[in-house]
Amino acid sequence: MHMIIGPGAVGTVLTAFLRHAGEPVRLRVREEDVQDLQGSSHVLVDRVRGRPPVRVAKPPMSTQTDFDGVETVFICVKHPDLPAVLDAFPADIPDTTTIVPCLNGVGAAQRIRQRFPGSHVAPLTVMFNAQLLEPLHARISTKPNVLINSDDKALLGLFGTSGLQVQRVHDEAAAWGKLLINLANGICALTDTTFHDVLANPDLRAVFVTLLDEATTVLDKSAARYHLPVGMPYQAYRKLLTHGGNGAWWLEKYRHGLTKSSYPSMVADLRAGRPTEIDELGGEIVRLGQLVGVPTPANARVVKMVHAAEAAPHPTPMSARDLRDALA
């Protein structure tokens, strides 16, 4: 039995593909969400790229974090909710249970290992982009694939031939690479734009390059390896962003199947007045920069501006030019 904690966009997608692969799943939900979730009899994932949807029967739900007989625990909540999730864990995690944090960035696995030393933790990096349309109904706007940092063959094979591709990774390099690309999320949130806008608008591309220049300098100084999901070294990707017109967009479109309407959930979080994960993306770069003595003024400014927007009752999106000027 596998437990999915958090029936949001990622939790719904993983539930659907696991069930499609014939795996038994239990959804761990919050008391206050039970009523909303009871309305649907199935879990549905639409695929934007012309593939048929994945539709499976709704698995049993529980409001308890009980690891009895649970092989794998997929944590699919956002960072602000992680402490509450971990507070509900038993003090001793059974040796037969593997914890799979699916949150953005690299911080969640570190926090779990610190809090539950000796537990089996296998970080999963979500490479797809998904939105929740209604309870237990999500839409994927890219190819469905994930990376898992583990040698556990059973875990790596869980999704079988369901259509969700699993790639095995051996260190945090891919997670850092994904974090670098996710620095675009703060840009999208502040300007209320899509990934396409960031890669096609010259002002937003320039902002992205500024954030990436700082972040890669920090990672190089701290000797943290990173592997960009775009499949090329940073200097080549930088050239594409600065001199390649819309080339970076076409690369994303064909490599990951990104569509023009794909946007990071940080945009939706800000619109809905929810706290964002900016501290675990740009904030992670700022913290590491302080540790290794590399200044990160542009990333720090974006983190500060996103927090200011979180606190505003009705945040007004900035123009691309204004954001570029603010970071100049």
Ligand X SMILES: NC(=O)c1ccc[n+]([C@@H]2O[C@H](COP(=O)([O-])OP(=O)(O)OC[C@H]3O[C@@H](n4cnc5c(N)ncnc54)[C@H](OP(=O)(O)O)[C@@H]3O)[C@@H](O)[C@H]2O)c1
Give the interface with ligand X as residue ranges (CB under 6 A). Answer: 5-11, 28-30, 33, 76-79, 81, 84-85, 102-104, 126, 129-130, 132, 265, 277
Residue nearest to ligand X (CB): 8
CA distance 72 to 114: 19
Tokens of 226: 């990173």
Q: Min. distance of Cβ 213 from ligand X in angstroms?
A: 23
Q: Min. distance of Cβ 239 from ligand X in angstroms?
A: 26
Angle subtended at Cα 81 by Cα 152 and Cα 118, rounded to the nearest 5 degrees: 35
Q: Min. distance of Cβ 86 from ligand X in angstroms?
A: 9
Q: Min. distance of Cβ 54 from ligand X in angstroms?
A: 16
- The residues near 76 (Cβ < 8 Å, ≥ 6 apart) are 4, 5, 6, 7, 8, 10, 11, 14, 102
The distance from CA 49 to its chain's CA centroid, rounded to whole angstroms, is 20
User: Is the Cβ of residue 8 or residue 324 nearer to ligand X in the bound state?
Assistant: 8
CA distance 283 to 140: 27
CA distance 52 to 56: 13
User: Is the Cβ of residue 10 or residue 211 nearer to ligand X in the bound state?
Assistant: 10
CA distance 302 to 323: 9
User: Is the Cβ of residue 86 or residue 200 nearer to ligand X in the bound state?
Assistant: 86
Judge contact between 145 and 14, C-beta under 8 A: no
Q: Please name which of 317, 320, 285 lies closest in space to residue 301, comparing C-alpha atoms.
A: 285
Judge contact between 281 and 86, C-beta under 8 A: no
Q: Min. distance of Cβ 83 from ligand X in angstroms?
A: 9
Q: Min. distance of Cβ 68 from ligand X in angstroms?
A: 18
User: Is the Cβ of residue 2 or residue 79 nearer to ligand X in the bound state?
Assistant: 79
Tokens of 170: 């051996």
User: Is the Cβ of residue 102 or residue 212 nearer to ligand X in the bound state?
Assistant: 102
CA distance 281 to 185: 9
Q: What is the largest CA-CA distance in the chain?
A: 55
Judge contact between 153 and 177, C-beta under 8 A: no
CA distance 63 to 74: 15
Q: Min. distance of Cβ 271 from ligand X in angstroms?
A: 13
User: Is the Cβ of residue 2 or residue 78 nearer to ligand X in the bound state?
Assistant: 78
Q: Min. distance of Cβ 33 from ligand X in angstroms?
A: 5
User: Is the Cβ of residue 220 or residue 310 nearer to ligand X in the bound state?
Assistant: 310
Q: Min. distance of Cβ 266 from ligand X in angstroms?
A: 8
User: Is the Cβ of residue 211 or residue 267 nearer to ligand X in the bound state?
Assistant: 267
User: Is the Cβ of residue 131 or residue 324 nearer to ligand X in the bound state?
Assistant: 131
CA distance 290 to 161: 44
